[in-house]
A and B are shown apart, each in its own frame.
Chain A
Amino acid sequence: MAPLQKRAWYSLIIGIVLTGVLVAFLVIKGDVTAFFADENMRYILYAVWIGVPLIYWILVDITLRKPTQIDERDKHIIEKSGKAQWMAVVFSLAAWTIALTEVYREQRQVPVDFLTLILVSVLIISILAQSFGILTGYWRINRDV
């Protein structure tokens, strides 16, 4: 298995775990507004939301810089996976916009807590979509050309 393919599997697992954790938190707390009510928890979460993408970006960059880890075939697959990632992010933002507009149209305002939730969900979707795109790319190459 190619190093990039391995990394995509790890990212996919991380994305699924993050989704599970997020859903579990929301189910336990019961309400989005209660989830971010604690000030300390809010600051910890801010650090996590900035830290996780930063660490992820650094790890990807380190992988891409190693010539023995990645070559033109892998780069071609990464480029193609970017399309899946972009589409997933756009569709998830569209889904959030439609859902929040329909739910809060009468009140004419959306709770600020949703901003963090939108950011987290888009980050997770982005990680999942890129991993899925990379794995699909390898599957297609291994199937036929």
Chain B
Amino acid sequence: MSRIGNRIRRLRFDHGEMTQEELASRVGCTRQTIIALEQGKYVPSIELAFRIARSFGVTLEEVFQYEAES
């Protein structure tokens, strides 16, 4: 699994239970990519990461976390 974690699923529910389809449409990607992101199976480009953060009105680090190896 990726060492880049994210809170997309949590943020979706906090924003009126936004659907994956709705988020995908807002940020300009497919629903399959949102699913892959939530499952930690895909690391987005910086651009897509910013678009996701902005769609929730939060900073990048409130969405994505880098889990450094100890």
Chain A residues proximal to chain B, CB less than 8 Å? 1-3, 5, 67-74, 141-142, 144-145
CB nearest to A71 among chain B residues: B29
B44 close to A72 (CB less than 8 A):
yes
Residue of A nearest to B29 (CB): A71
User: Is the pair A68, B41 in contact by a Cβ cutoff of 8 Å?
Assistant: no
A73 adjacent to B42 (CB under 8 Å): yes
Neighbouring A residues of B44 by C-beta, 8 Å:
72
B2 touches A145 (CB 8 A): yes
**Are B33 and A73 in contact (CB-based, < 8 A)?**
yes
Interface of A is mostly: loop
**A1 contacts which chain B residues (CB < 8 A)?**
32
Q: Are B45 and A72 in contact (CB under 8 A)?
A: yes
Q: Interface size class for chain B?
A: 10 to 19
B65 within 8 A of A: no
Query: Which residues from chain A contact B33 at a C-beta distance below 8 Å?
Result: 71-74
| CB-defined contacts of B29 to chain A, threshold 8 Å | 71-73
User: B residues near A, CB below 8 A?
Assistant: 1-2, 25, 28-30, 32-33, 36, 40-45, 47-48
Question: How far, in whole Å, are A5 and B1 apart by their CA atoms in the complex?
Answer: 22
Give Cα distance in the complex from A142 to B32, angstroms.
Answer: 11
- Per the bound structure, the CA–CA distance linking A144 and B44 in Å amounts to 14
- A72 CB contact (under 8 Å) in B2, B40, B48: B48
CB-CB nearest in chain B for A75 = B45
Question: Assuming A67-B28, A73-B32, A142-B41, what are 20 further A-B pairs, CB within 8 angstroms?
Answer: A1-B32, A2-B32, A3-B30, A5-B32, A68-B25, A71-B28, A71-B29, A71-B33, A72-B44, A73-B30, A73-B36, A74-B30, A141-B36, A141-B42, A144-B41, A145-B1, A145-B2, A145-B40, A145-B41, A145-B42
